[in-house]
A and B are shown apart, each in its own frame.
Chain A
């Protein structure tokens, strides 16, 4: 009951009682819009808006700009971390380490009967390792 579900307001159903129709993944339902309207956001302005619905009431408009900013921040954090990882990779000590022979071994073993397939597999494995 505490977990809301995001839906999009598609129509106003009853102006007097502030009811609208929302679409949640193709399912439509009547909801009360009283908590998402005020002077700056009249009832008609709800159509097209994304709202969070709890037990038949739209309780909040979903701020798309804020959602984008949050994701952007996480993206930046990821980029900063990859940059740090890249810096670590040029550490001279890592250059001294012998190239991992394990991949070749696995590739050769698995690819006994299928040469090209084994090559692709090895490359995927490499990408996966650096990704971590």
Chain B
């Protein structure tokens, strides 16, 4: 595939791994612990595991901390319940991205609701949901909008298109979240030990690099906006470690073929036209974070499913056995969760981190089992 295969060259990867190891070793020795680098985006977590990058790097000098950047994973149970309440309304065709179908709420997932007769349809694009609305004028079509700034422009443009065409039976259940307050919350956490960040490539494609300035200036941490191929990630990690080695804290951009300094003006204009910040938004595992979510502006109330139909909006606690919150905060690794791989698997997830392919637990489950370094020694019984 164009612009993918070129960034998977094993020889170049080897060169980068050597350079990272050489630069990181003295830094880790000085700290008496590995450098802790957070990849904010779930897509990066996926690449790290899929290509075994974690096993290529020296574990005593580099440790990846998996960030909260998987929108499906941080969706609280109460919001899934709200979706199901909407989907059970016989007047409604409930449309959603595939990732969200299996996220468990307190009364099952959207997939289970569909099996029980609710009209839930999986779509690739919000424009597909709009097409369903055009084709079914006698039904109400609700699109479940979620994601960070990456997907926000697409739902904003879909809403504007619906308004333009005067499609009255289409509405949005808005659960978009924003990256900057989230990173701020991570940086403000009292037990922060992170040495640097790999910044989310596709969020930055929309918002640009400038919003991260405060991370370098105020919190004195390097951040490198990274692409999603293995070489992209290794090069970005090398850039972070190089900054640390040279005592610099800057915002750098590795993903220059996609990300510009100022982001995408057309996309940002659409987002600002349709959405405004919520005072706070509830996250699974992380609790409430100020100004971390958006809602639709009043002007678009007729297209806002939350206003049009009302949702129960009940706060539901995560199941007691599930430790998604601790994993999200980096307190424990997925494997250390009590139910990892036993009661909670990608086929039958208990927690959201096991659902999406971008979730840390799912990545550990799918690819991490071949990670010998990560395996704790188990007592062997003589045969």
Interface residues of A (CB under 8 A from B): 1-4, 6, 8, 17, 25, 32, 34-38, 50, 52, 54-57, 59-60, 62-64, 66-67, 69-71, 73-75, 77-78, 81, 132
A55-B257 contact given A1-B99, A2-B202, A77-B19, CB 8 Å threshold: no
Nearest Cβ in chain A — how far from B335, in angstroms?
A: 24
CA distance A25 to B15 in the complex (A): 30
A interface, by DSSP: helix, strand, loop or mixed?
mixed
Of B19, B42, B128, the contact of A2 (CB 8 Å cutoff): B42
Selecting from B3-11, B314-322, B362-370, the interface stretch reads B3-11
Q: Interface segment, B144-152, B185-193, B281-289?
A: B144-152
A-B contact pairs, 7 of them (CB 8 A): A37-B266, A38-B265, A54-B154, A57-B157, A59-B267, A69-B256, A75-B12
Chain B nearest CB from A86 CB (Å) reads 14
Q: Which residue of A6, A35, A62, A74 is within 8 Å of B267 (Cβ)? A: A35
Please, which residues of chain A bring their CB within 8 A of the CB of B270?
34-35
Whether the pair B16, A2 counts as a contact (CB closer than 8 A) is no
CB distance from A123 to the nearest CB of B (A): 19
Closest residue to B72 on the A side, CB-wise? A1
Residues from 329 to 343 in B contacting A, C-beta threshold 8 Å: none
Please determine whether B41 and A2 come into contact, CB atoms closer than 8 angstroms: yes
Measuring CB to CB, which residues of chain B are less than 8 angstroms from any residue of chain A?
1-4, 6-7, 9, 11-12, 14-16, 18-19, 41-43, 46, 69-72, 97, 99, 124-128, 147-148, 150-151, 153-154, 157, 161, 200, 202-203, 205-206, 228, 231, 235, 254, 256-259, 264-267, 270, 358
The answer to whether B258 touches A52 (Cβ under 8 A) is yes
Residues of B contacting A55 in the complex (Cβ-Cβ under 8 angstroms): 97, 124-126, 151, 154
- CB–CB A60/B154 < 8 A: no
Q: Within the complex, what minimum Cβ distance (angstroms) separates A13 from chain B?
A: 12
Give, as a whole number of angstroms, the nearest-CB distance from B131 to chain A.
10
Question: How distant is B124 from chain A, measured CB to nearest CB, in Å?
Answer: 6
Chain B residues, CB < 8 A from A66: 256-257
Contacts of B127 in A (CB 8 A): 32, 56-57
CB proximity of B245 to chain A, nearest CB, Å: 15
Provide the residues of chain A in CB contact with B154, threshold 8 Å. 32, 54-57, 59
With A and B bound together, what is the CA distance between A32 and B153 in angstroms?
11
A98 to chain B, nearest CB (A): 26
B68 to chain A: closest CB distance in Å? 13
Q: Could you tell me if B228 and A3 are in contact, using CB atoms closer than 8 angstroms?
A: yes
Tell me if B151 and A2 are in contact (CB < 8 A): yes
Select B4's contact among A1, A6, A71, A74, beta carbons within 8 Å: A6
Q: Give every chain B residue within 8 A of A54 (Cβ-Cβ).
A: 150-151, 154, 202
Q: A1-B147, A35-B267 are in contact. Are A59 and B206 (CB under 8 A)?
A: yes
Across the interface, B264 reaches (CB within 8 A) one of A32, A59, A67, A78, namely A59
Q: Taking A2-B358, A6-B4, A56-B126 as contacts, is the C-beta distance between A62 and B257 under 8 angstroms?
A: yes
**Contact yes or no, B235 A70, CB < 8 A:** yes
Q: Is the CB of B125 within 8 A of A56?
A: yes
Contact A57 B147 (CB under 8 A): no
Add 6 more A-B contacts to A2-B41, A6-B2 (CB < 8 A). A1-B147, A52-B202, A56-B124, A62-B258, A66-B257, A78-B15
CB distance from B304 to the nearest CB of A (A): 20
Chain A residues within 8 Å of B254, by CB? 70
Question: Which chain A residues lie closer than 8 Å to B228 at the CB level?
Answer: 3
Question: A74 near B153 (CB under 8 angstroms)?
Answer: no
Tell me, rounded to whole Å, the shortest Cβ–Cβ distance linking A99 to chain B: 25
Instruction: Determine the chain A residues whose CB is within 8 A of the CB of B202 once the complex forms.
Output: 2-4, 52, 54, 59
7 nearest CB pairs, A to B: A56-B125, A66-B257, A67-B257, A78-B15, A66-B256, A57-B154, A74-B12
Neighbouring B residues of A35 by C-beta, 8 Å: 153, 157, 264, 266-267, 270
Nearest-neighbour CB distance to chain A for B252, whole angstroms, equals 12
B362 to nearest A CB, angstroms? 14
- Min distance, Cβ A1 to any Cβ of chain B, angstroms: 5
Contact yes or no, A25 B1, CB < 8 A: yes
Asked if B258 and A2 sit within 8 Å, CB to CB, the answer is: no
Cα-based distance from A104 to B18 in the complex (angstroms): 29
Q: Is the CB of B12 within 8 A of A63?
A: no
Closest Cβ neighbor of A82 among chain B residues: B15
Docked Cα-Cα span, A123 to B128, in Å, equals: 57
Q: Which of B46, B69, B70, B205 contacts A59 (CB 8 A)?
A: B205
B347 to chain A, nearest CB (A): 21
- Given known A1-B71, A54-B150, contact A81–B19 (CB-CB < 8 A): yes
User: Closest approach, in angstroms, between the C-beta of B189 and any C-beta of chain A?
Assistant: 23
* Docked pose: A124 CA to B56 CA in angstroms: 23
Chain A positions within 8 Å of B18 at CB level: 81
